[in-house]
Amino acid sequence: MGSTLDIALPALKSNPKFIFFTDFDGTITQQDSNDWMTDNLGFGPELRKKGNEDVLYGRRDFRDSFADMLDSIKTPFNECIELLLKNITLDPGFQQFFEWAKENNVPIVILSGGMEPVIRALLAHMLGKEEAETLQIVSNDVAPRQGKSVNEAGGWHIVYHDDSGFGHDKSLEIRPYARLPAEERPVLFYAGDGVSDLSAAKETDLLFAKSGRDLVAYCERESVPFTTFQDFTEILATVKDIVAGKTTVKEAATGRK
């Protein structure tokens, strides 16, 4: 494949036959870092859950609801990071999945509605800095408020990746891969759990939706094929079978287990 295509679609660099796109918060991690901050440092779980419900049922854009959540957090950004490092844990199966994917040329691309500095800090803490730097992350950013530093109280805000109602429309990253000619197109997977994943839900060959979370309800309501997972050990088993030709993406899309 040409170098221009490799730059535009970096996950193609190793000429893979499979690409694994994934959400970060509540998918790679056991807890959602943004939910944790909102519940413990911001306006609390009741308003957060109401906002998520409004997004799930189309009453409000994720972009506005999520900004309200984060704006309610006044804790300096460096203190937020320190607290998250103590309270957010890695999915018990992700390390093994990460190592298998690296050995078998299955690029992992993290598509997150969260903030890249948070994700980088957590991954460096959980996987080690060198390993974390091998992962492509497409996410939102953080910036200081006017006249302030991010490490002051009320000093930071989210900077969205794009102008969409999602703030980060994950489908925009996946579709160029999906539209490749059949002979060049890898099989595409996506794993997610919540309202930030709605933009990606219909874009890949197989969707893994975390059991008991909002994404499952959305897929059932919108008739989106999916399979559920509890943790990455289940994802690894399914992806291994597909890579080995023991099953197909269509056969794996069994819905709620």
| Rounded (10°) CA dihedral 229, 173, 18, 241 | 10
Give the chain's radius of gyration (CA, Å): 18
Q: Can 23 be counted among the known catalytic residues? A: yes
Closest CA to 189 of 116, 133, 108: 108
Select which of 6, 23, 193, 241 is catalytic: 23
Strands of the chain, DSSP E: 18-22, 108-115, 136-144, 156-159, 187-192, 206-210, 227-229
Distance separating alpha carbons of residues 39 and 20, to the nearest angstrom? 30
For 135-154, letters b (16+ CB in 10 Å) and e give bebbbbebeeeeeeebeeee
DSSP string, 119-144: HHHHHHHHH-HHHHTTSEEEEEEEEE
Distance separating alpha carbons of residues 69 and 45, to the nearest angstrom? 10
List C-alpha distances in Å: 102 to 11, 20, 94, 160, 205: 12, 11, 12, 29, 20
> Annotated catalytic sites, by residue?
23, 25
